Amino acid sequence: MQKLEGKIYSIFALSAILILLSNCSGERQEKIKEQRPNIVFIMSDDHASRAISCYDGTLNQTPNIDRIASEGAIFTNSFVGNSICGPSRATMITGKFSHKNGFLANYRSKFDGSQQTLPKLLKANGYNTAIVGKWHLGTTPTGFDYWNVFPDQGDYYNPDFIDNGDTVRLNGYATNLVTNLAINWLNEKRNPDQPFMLFVHHKAPHRNWMPDTAKLDMYDGHEFPLPFNFKGDFSDRGKASAEADMGIWKTMSWSHDMKFTDYPTEWEHYKPDGEWHAKRYPQVELGRMTSAQRALWDDYYESRNAEVKEGLKSGATSLEEHIQWRYQRYMHDYLATISSVDDNVGRLLDYLEANGLDDNTIVVYTSDQGFYLGENGWFDKRFMYEQTLRTPFVMKYPGQIKPGTKVDKFIMNIDYMPTLLSYAGVGVPQDIQGRSFHTLLNEQPVSDWRNSIYYHYYMFPGTHSVKRHFGVRNERYKLIRFYHDIDEWELYDLQEDPNELKNVYDDPNYQGIVAEMKEVLRANQEQYEDSYELAMDYLENNRW
Ligand code: SGN
Ligand code: CA
């Protein structure tokens, strides 16, 4: 009898505890729901980490991007799965590699907007969702309550925007305008009863690097040191590097890139611009300017260009000197566009603070990929080499991410979607290939994190002639296979050769490593369900 009584008491006590717990978890859930963070995801286009002062600091200063890192976290090993615009953006909003989300290459692919995406899942779970700026996925944005995006790549001056379907031209400089639209949506258009997710996607610092008139002389006279292998010696690399078309001399145009309205045709090294570039600069890029903008622009460039032309005409400037001058102009323009991006990051942060939104808002700054700033004599991206495999990523979330956090683990752009879903309290669907890295930011970071990353680039034949390739990178080594019109493997020992100039794939001393890295490649391809055979199938059936 006593025993039975005891049992009844314990069942009673247990139920009481359960009821208490369930009430508490109900309240807690409500609270979590109430406090679901807002998300401001700022992304620029082609921003190399080296051009952000919290990553490097030798080239330029970006105090506002740095502010996000110092108030939150900087990720020092952040990688993309396919270093090109559209594919990278598709990866971010699906949490899947290109072969799974179907967007393999700019232009050829069209994003299938009917699939599951980050904005759609957040919207379905009560978020108010918006995107302003660059979209570049070929099809109409889906999953956004509000979208106001550039057609295709967009323009730097007085750009067109597609405002929820209607094309409208706005006067001003693209980076400022995108931020105006963002602030305007926050102020007037969003639903204050919902948490929000806002994508602020800048055009800058994408080619052709047109600074705001207010920034034209900001780096005037500044001498940027030439980076490694500026002359482009690929004798110890392979054909893919040698045959790429992205050299500062070989590929950059006088007009579109170097900002000359006319150039020295009689000089022995004269290299004509392609027809498209020759027309685009005067007709579109300068053609869109107001006369006031144009006057400031000409005032800066024309006098300086005249000096360059004079030097070439008289023979006082050698080819080598001229190529170095081109690098200075490139860096000058590229970094000046970044200065505007940084100012505008500051404007948004200030807005959040001034409106009491900063405490409960996650702010991310990233880029769709990295960029070559003259390393190997290049600009552009696409290759799996470090400068473009990496992309900057800083994130703050007051109260959740400790200020000054530094994460060295390998994160990828497939992880952004599950990370943001986790912070928003939305379940991460099974088919997402990335993994939430909020666990790396906990007091006790998880220990079973990936120690290698996978990469696959498809856009060949295409602009800049970077051959198709896939590969893996771990802490010390990188293995790449270039395929299509070649079949070449490259292996780099990043500890001995951080600039990846000596391919040791055939070196007898590295045969054990080759075998190990092939196993890492096999395991990654198995995990992500990709393969050489699938890549061949895309090729043979002309599927991009
Ligand atoms: C344009 C650029 C290329 C650039 C691609 C892709 N040429 O075609 O240099 O690689 O965009 O860039 S330009 O003459 O138009 O400037 S991406 O960031 O959109 O992928
Ligand atoms: Ca890009």
**Closest protein CA for atom 5 of ligand 1:** 463
Residue 266: which pLDDT band, with cuts at 50, 70 and 90? low
- Residue with token string 């995107």: 131
- % of the chain surpassing 70 pLDDT: 93
Atom 17, ligand 1: residue with shortest CA distance: 85
CA 333 to chain centre: 19
Across residues 25-51, what is the average pLDDT?
80
% of the chain residues with pLDDT over 90: 86
Q: Is the CB of 84 under 6 A from ligand 1?
A: yes
Residue 24 has pLDDT above 50, yes or no: no
Q: Does 45 sit in the ligand 1 pocket, CB within 6 Å?
A: yes
pLDDT greater than 80 at residue 477: yes
97: CB partners within 8 A, 6+ apart: 81, 82, 91, 414, 433, 454, 456, 528, 530
pLDDT at 329 > cutoff 70: yes
> Which burial class, exposed, middle or buried, applies to 487 when counting CB atoms under 10 A from its CB (0-12, 13-18, 19+)?
exposed
**85 CB under 6 A from ligand 1?**
yes
Least distant ligand from the CA of 47? 2
CA distances in angstroms from 9 to 2, 21, 27, listed in the order given: 10, 18, 27
Q: How large is the average pLDDT for residues 186-194?
A: 98
3-state SS class at 41? strand
Give the Cα separation of 440 and 451 in Å (integer). 13
Smallest-distance ligand from the CA of 274: 1
Closest atom of ligand 1 to 379 CA is: 9
- The CA-to-CA distance between both ends of the chain, in Å, stands at 76
Give me the pLDDT at residue 267, please: 66
What CA–CA distance (Å, rounded) separates 302 from 261?
A: 8
Ligand 1 contact, 464 CB (< 6 A): yes
Cα 86 to ligand 2 centre (Å): 8
Minimal CA–CA distance to 204: which of 345, 47, 3?
47
Q: Ligand 1 in contact with 206 (CB < 6 A)?
A: yes
93 vs 12, residue with greater confidence: 93
Cα separation of 288 and 157, whole Å? 6
Using the predicted structure, report yes or no on whether residue 7 has a pLDDT greater than 50. no
**pLDDT over 50 (residue 417):** yes
**pLDDT at residue number 28:** 44
* Ligand 2 centre distance from Cα of residue 87 (Å): 9
Ligand 1, atom 20, residue with closest C-alpha: 85
Question: Given this model, what pLDDT does residue 33 score?
Answer: 52
Of residues 480 and 11, the one with the higher pLDDT is 480
Helix axis angle for 319-354 and 291-314, nearest 10°, is 160
Question: Which DSSP helix (H) or strand (E) runs through 364?
Answer: strand 361-367
Q: CB of 106 closer than 6 A to ligand 1? A: yes
439-467 pLDDT, tens digit per residue, is 999 888 888 999 999 999 999 999 999 99
Mean predicted lDDT score pLDDT of the chain: 93
pLDDT digit string, tens, across residues 335-354 = 999 999 999 999 999 999 99
Q: Whose CA is nearest to atom 15 of ligand 1?
A: 207
pLDDT at 3 over 60: no
- In ligand 1, the atom with minimum distance to the C-alpha of 277 is 14
Cα–Cα distance, 78 to 52 (Å, whole number): 14
Q: What is the pLDDT of residues 399-411, one digit of tens each?
A: 999 999 999 999 9
Omega before 191 within 30 of 0, i.e. cis: no
Q: Count Cβ neighbours within 10 Å for each residue of 328-349 and write b for 16 or more, e otherwise.
A: bbbbbbbbbbbbbbbbbbbbbb
Taking residues 239-255, what's their average pLDDT? 95
Q: If you take atom 13 of ligand 1, which residue's CA is the nearest one?
A: 207
| E strand intervals along 121-263 | 128-133, 146-149, 160-163, 166-169, 196-201
Q: What does the pLDDT average to over 125-142?
A: 97
What pLDDT does 172 receive? Answer: 98
Predicted confidence (pLDDT) at residue 537 exceeds the cutoff of 60: yes
The Å distance, Cα 84 to ligand 2 centre, comes to 6
Give the pLDDT mean for 213-242: 97
Average pLDDT value for residue range 286-298: 98
Q: Which atom of ligand 1 is nearest to the CA of 253?
A: 14
pLDDT digits (tens, 9 = 90+) for 505-516: 999 999 999 999
CB 38, CB 351: distance < 8 Å: no
Extended strands (E) in 154-242: 160-163, 166-169, 196-201
Ligand 1 pocket residue status of 391, Cβ below 6 Å: no
CB 260 within 8 A of CB 386: no
Q: Residue 86: its pLDDT value, please?
A: 97
User: Is 29's pLDDT higher than 70?
Assistant: no
Nearest CA to ligand 1 atom 10: 380
Ligand 1, atom 18: nearest CA belongs to which residue? 85
**Separation of alpha carbons 25 and 538, rounded Å:** 49
pTM, two decimal places: 0.93
